Structure 1
Amino acid sequence: MGYLGLKPGETIKCRDRQHMKKVHDELAALGIRSDYLYVKDGKEGTWIIIEPKH
């Protein structure tokens, strides 16, 4: 997947928590800061949210 064009605030829908961890690790390896998101727009699920660079 092409992660390099992601902007802060964008999200990635994940299949499950294992997939979240994998995506989070892949982003970290590219120097992209992200966090886990379990509720989006009032719906529970598994997402990764892109954080701003510091």
Structure 2
Amino acid sequence: MAWVGNYLRRYIGIITSIEMIKNILFHFNQHEHESKMLDGNNQLENTVTIIELY
């Protein structure tokens, strides 16, 4: 019966790895999208900050 446990553990491990990879890729894509949107805002904020400094 030990081999059944090993097989299940390996199978669950593979599924978990795939899920993790999908989550990482999904988050990465979301970040890319968000950072593009934030870049516009950040440039405005940076300009404002620079003006405030002077």
* Structure (1 or 2) with the greater strand fraction: 1
TM-score (norm 2): 0.30
* Structure (1 or 2) with the greater helix fraction: 2
TM-score (norm 1): 0.30
Return the structure number with greater relative CO, CA threshold 8 A, min gap 6: 1
Larger radius of gyration: 2
